[in-house]
Amino acid sequence: MIKEYKRKSCRLCKSKNIKDVYKFKKTPIGDDYRINKTSTNNFELKLKHCKNCDFVQLSNIINPDKVYGEYLYITETSFGLINHFNNLVDYLFKKKILTSLSQVLEIGSNDGSLQKILKKKCYFVLGIDPATHLTIDKNLITMKGMYDNKLSNKITKKFYKFDVIIANNVIANIDDLDTVFKGISNNLVDNGYFVMETFSLSKLLKHNLIDNIYHEHLSYFTFKTINRFAKKYKINLVDGSIEKVKGGSLRLIFKKQNKYKKNHLVEKIIKKEEQKLNIKERFKQLRIINNNNMYKIHNYLEKNKIKKIVGFGASVGTTTLVYDFELTKKISYIFDNEKKRNNMYLPNTDIKVKLPKKLKKNQPVLIFAWRYFKTILRRNKRIFPKGTVFILPLPKFKIIKI
């Protein structure tokens, strides 16, 4: 049986004044695609908002060994991410955060895509990841494990300290952030840099990115919330920006400093973001919008006498959408270009994933990977007959005919 526990206090400030702000239908582990159709548990999925520090988070945590044991997501196949990593490394060199002599630690190295880029330009690069089976390049040095303070001590004994630590889209997936930031402080040299990228709560709210919400992703940061928390460990935010990748991500540049130095640039970034945030009210609006999106999809199928529809895009976020929009019995199968998921079943359903093949005429397609619709059309134009109807479920229900 998969273990689950519920956190009764805020992950950052430890306040118990946390309230429900957005509730989904229960879902299985989002990336638990399997080659055999098997019955698995469905878990509560709802966001909570801390009234004390304004942090948004999931409070129910599933055993990470079950979430990451047979993890399928790989960086290499994520649209635009390799190019984004190249740009990130160029940026860090331009800012002189990285140099050719830098020793770099990457937390959550996944398939080694960023490691590979760093290795060509830096003195030494070490990756940390619980799913080391995903690492493509066997010349890369990767340690298996969930990063925490205990693992950071092992790293220090073996490799000493690092000039730069990078963590892209991984910190939000860890429950105990105190042990992580203790570890980061431990592994960094004085005045070393910690570079972090993560989903932006403000962009999630603005663009209705609810398919970015799933059990693996526990924390939804703003510049303000993560800055206040990191200060406890003498890791101070010195720069930041919002990047387009993954629909809107925070890029945060921290520096390990014994004394906090007031930073007017950071204050300006936080103030700009805060002006656009009204967390409770915006989540209320999104629930109304998404109930309407769900109704319009079902109404379209009913009016056109369509019992089942084809989907495109099999990801962890697809699981969230399929369950929340009550589509488990409405999808015949899902196309996806990722070979690792081919012939697997979307978690706890009869929905099989297939490599793209030519569609029958007048066969509508529900685009789960809606943010990449133009890319999907360009890469797979041979399979879509003229007149194909596409349904985009987010940010608002939309019908597109080619």
Chunked mean pLDDT (size 10), the chain, 402 residues: 81 96 95 87 94 94 69 54 92 96 95 92 93 71 92 94 96 96 97 96 96 95 96 95 91 91 86 88 97 98 95 96 97 92 94 92 93 92 92 97 88
Give pLDDT, residue 261: 75
pTM over 0.85: yes
CB-based contacts of 360, cutoff 8 Å, min separation 6: 385
Amino acid of residue 68:
Y
The arrangement of secondary structure in 281-401, i.e. its CATH architecture, is 3-Layer(aba) Sandwich (3.40)
pLDDT at 135: 63
| The one-letter amino acid at 216 | E
Identify the residue whose tokens are 């999104």. 286
Looking at residue 374, the DSSP 8-state letter turns out to be H
What is the predicted pLDDT for the residue at 40? 85
Q: Where in the chain is the domain with CATH 3.40.50.150?
A: 75-277
Closest CA to 392 of 337, 321, 329: 321
Write down the pLDDT at residue 44: 93
Indicate the CATH number for domain 75-277: 3.40.50.150
Q: Which residues of the chain form CATH 3.40.50.720?
A: 281-401
**Side-chain half-sphere of 43: how many Cα atoms within 13 Å?**
26
Kindly report each contact of residues 289-297 with a partner whose C-beta sits within 8 Å and lies 24 or more positions away, as own/partner: 289/208, 289/395, 289/396, 290/208, 290/210, 290/324, 290/325, 290/394, 292/397, 293/325, 293/393, 293/394, 293/396, 293/397, 294/324, 294/325, 294/326, 296/397, 297/325, 297/327, 297/366, 297/391, 297/393, 297/397
Q: What is the pLDDT of residue 47?
A: 97
- CB neighbours of 6 closer than 8 A, spacing ≥ 6? 59, 60, 61
For residues 241 and 268, the answer to whether their CB atoms sit within 8 Å is no
Where would I find the H helices in 252-367?
264-275, 279-303, 316-324
| Residue-level pLDDT at 51 | 95
Q: Which pair of structure tokens corresponds to residue 166? A: 């990078």
Q: In what order do the strands lie in the sheet with 309-312?
A: 352-354, 331-335, 309-312, 365-367, 389-392, 398-401
